[in-house]
Amino acid sequence: MSKLRIENVSRVFPGVRGGEPTRALEPTNLSVEDNDFITILGPSGCGKSTLLRIVAGLDQPTTGSVLLDGEAVRDPGPDRGMVFQSYTLFPWLTVRENICFGLREKNVPDKQQAEIAAHFINQVGLKGFENHFPKQLSGGMQQRTALARALANDPKIMLLDEPFGALDNQTRALMQELLLGIWEQHKKTVLFVTHDIDEAIFMANRVLVMTARPGKVKCDIAIDLPHPRHYTMKTTPEFAAYKARLTEEIRVEAIRSAQAEH
């Protein structure tokens, strides 16, 4: 049985002030297997974030349903860890307290909280910054904390909404390797939204390309590159071949999306 099933999920946003309703997402189907790392690639405004928010339970689908381990998703919950593009650490909590937030909501004993926090602080390379407030951290460090915060809850699936989108290129590349390393170790199931083609290929075992608005899945491409992956992989001919194909797929959609705006 699939880990996550997205069945016929669509989303129509009601029109603003009597305007036309916006069809953000056409009926979409997707089966995610255990340990899948799926990247969802699409031009901006294609509904890929909407899809992720529906899986998270932060938005309700107009039609269809989302099943996690066979159970319907209605509300947000700790079984689906999310990392957002914007910085969403709690500014009044230190790095460690942020990572413990979900554990505290679950009433995990303090001692156990401290152990889990220490483990993930180590894993994302934030040792020595446990007592810093988010404002004292760089963007990359904040997103690493957000990642640790989501992982600390031991979710069934990780949902990442362009988590590295606001970071500079170098930091972004390092974060990709960090996340991939964590995935290779923990074998989490991951849904990762991005508009960056390199990122989509490098991270994934499956890339889903979405069409311009109204978004739907255009193609589902298996990425058959070995693990563990190293950044040098981005210069191999195999990688280049995937990139050429995806660039073509996404270019058509970007053009359509640009035309639709005029």
Partner 1 sequence: MFDPLKPVSPGRRTALGILFFVVFFAAWGVVTYGGIVPPLFLADPVKAARAGIELFTKYNFIGDVGITIWRVVGGFLIAAVFAVPLGILMGAFKSIEAFFEPFISFARYLPASAFIPLLILWAGVGEAQKLSVIIIGSFFQIVLMVAVIVGGSRIDLVEASKTLGAKRAGIVLRVLLPGAAPQIAETLRLVLGWAWTYVIVAELIGAQSGIGHMIMDSQRLLDTGQMIFGIFVIGVIGLVSDFLFKQANARLYPWYFIK
Window 62-81: contact mask with partner 1 (x via CB under 8 A): -------------xxxx-xx
Nearer to partner 1, 54 or 250 (CB): 54
Q: Does 105 sit near partner 1 (CB under 8 A)? A: yes
Q: Does 96 sit near partner 1 (CB under 8 A)? A: no
Contact yes or no for 56/76 (Cβ under 8 A) = yes
The residue from 38, 56, 68, 117 that contacts partner 1 (CB under 8 A) is: 56
Q: Does 139 sit near partner 1 (CB under 8 A)? A: no
**51's tokens:** 């899809």
Find the part of the chain contacting partner 1 (CB under 8 A) among 132-140, 173-181, 229-237, 251-259: 132-140
Contact yes or no for 91/133 (Cβ under 8 A) = yes
The residue from 31, 67, 101, 177 that contacts partner 1 (CB under 8 A) is: 101
Residues 25-54 that bind partner 1 (CB under 8 A): none
The residue from 1, 14, 17, 135 that contacts partner 1 (CB under 8 A) is: 135
The residue from 5, 48, 144, 149 that contacts partner 1 (CB under 8 A) is: 149
Contact residues for partner 1, defined by CB under 8 A: 56-58, 75-78, 80-82, 84, 86, 88, 90-93, 101-102, 104-106, 133-136, 149-150, 153, 159
